[in-house]
Amino acid sequence: MRYRAEIDGHELEFDLRCQGHCATAIVDGTVVPITMTRIGSSTEYAVLFGNRSFSFEVQRNAAGTWVAHCGRVYHCRAQNAQREALARLGGAAEGHQRAWELRAPMPGLVLEVRVREGDAVEAGQGVLVVEAMKMENELRAPCAGTVKEVKVKEKESVEQNQLLIVFA
């Protein structure tokens, strides 16, 4: 199945064929075997991607998927390319939901609010910095638009999945 992914504002298209815990990805004509195993807690994974191995933690919410790897947090969205094409034609497939909210991917402390109500933002623009697990994590706008409402202030503690910013 063909997918379109966005990782920190960078787009990527690939085909993915799954069989149990193993899969094959085809990226730019290159076939790469993938093996993924859940480790430790329910949000930690080990992945063998071709001959390279990675471990990372995944958090999901309405704004997308957040992947923590080597001290950085990446905002990722992947969508079936066929479903995305239908949505663009105005016939959004069942279950398709456009992200208009930014929610906390993990509990933490808001260190910096970089936008105010009425500000225009681009998809992937850094809008908040949240300290979690002794790391500063820049949270990015999930879509281009205007900041409708900022629900948090600097030095405020937030819980996982707490609404932070609403976009119009």
Question: Residue 168: its pLDDT value, please?
Answer: 81
Distance of alpha carbon 94 from alpha carbon 91, whole angstroms: 9
Q: Residues of 124-138 as b/e, b for ≥16 C-beta within 10 angstroms?
A: beebbbbebeeeebb
Which run of H or of E encompasses 34?
strand 30-39
Concatenate the DSSP letters of all residues of 106-128 into one string. Answer: S-EEEEEE---TT-EE-TT-EEE
Encode the chain (168 residues) as per-residue pLDDT tens digits: 777 777 777 777 778 777 766 778 787 778 888 887 877 666 788 888 878 888 888 777 666 677 777 777 777 776 666 655 555 554 444 444 444 788 887 889 999 999 999 999 887 788 999 998 788 888 888 777 889 999 999 999 999 889 999 888
Distance of alpha carbon 139 from alpha carbon 130, whole angstroms: 7
The pTM of this model reads: 0.47
